[in-house]
Amino acid sequence: MSELSPPPIVIFDLDGTLIDTAPDLIQTLNAILETESIPALAFETARPMIGGGVRPLLEQALAEQGKHPGEAAMDRLFESYIRRYQDHIADYSRPYPGLEGALDRLDADGFTLAVCTNKYEALSLRLLDALGLTSRFAAICGQDTFPMKKPDPETLRLTIARAGGDIARAVMVGDSETDVNVARAAGIPVIGVDFGYTRTPMSDLRPDRLISHFDALPAAVSELLRIPGRA
């Protein structure tokens, strides 16, 4: 590799990929429902609703209870959710097992690391700061960082550019159909994790590689980028 060549890059989704955020997201959801005198949702009912962001989570949770509030009410609930969530963003959220070891290995092997998420950028930074992970990533880009969001492939391209990576040697890691679709549209390979929040099983989405633990990530990245000596 030329010293002037941009480094290879691994781009991660956040919720359900890097961090198990479901406990805090669902606890916040149920707290908001309680303020509206709406019964709480069971954890396993709410968990698959997480992947699309806070507003879709609220909309799906309310629909599950037969509630369909208007736009103004949804705006109010959304704002209440964000206010509460930012104060409880890492009460119970934790990195998935093996994550930090995998990041250590990729960093030692010369990869740039970045985050491309549909969580708001400020919330993403707040979460990763609370968990001591912010410095691991050359760029942390959320749904409001650029004029578009995933699955628009420009979001992924701009994240790679902001991180100083090479799109020709890039791999996406995610847990949902949105992550698979954005990687495909951007023309880069995708590694799916099977422990996230997608309604559709990741195996059915047919990523280029499927992993069940972060211990398998460095080898999967190296195989996809065909980088010898890094498996």
Show which residues are catalytic: 13
What b-and-e string marks burial along 183-200, b requiring 16 or more CB atoms within 10 Å of the CB?
bbbbebbbbbbeebbbee
Q: For residues 174 and 159, is the Cβ–Cβ distance under 8 A?
A: no
Q: For residues 118 and 150, is the Cβ–Cβ distance under 8 A?
A: yes
Q: For residues 81 and 35, is the Cβ–Cβ distance under 8 A?
A: no
Q: Which residues contact 42 (CB under 8 A, 6 or more apart)?
A: none
Q: For residues 191 and 220, is the Cβ–Cβ distance under 8 A?
A: yes
Rama region for 50: left / alpha / beta (φ>0; ψ in -120 to 50; rest) = alpha
Q: For residues 138 and 164, is the Cβ–Cβ distance under 8 A?
A: yes
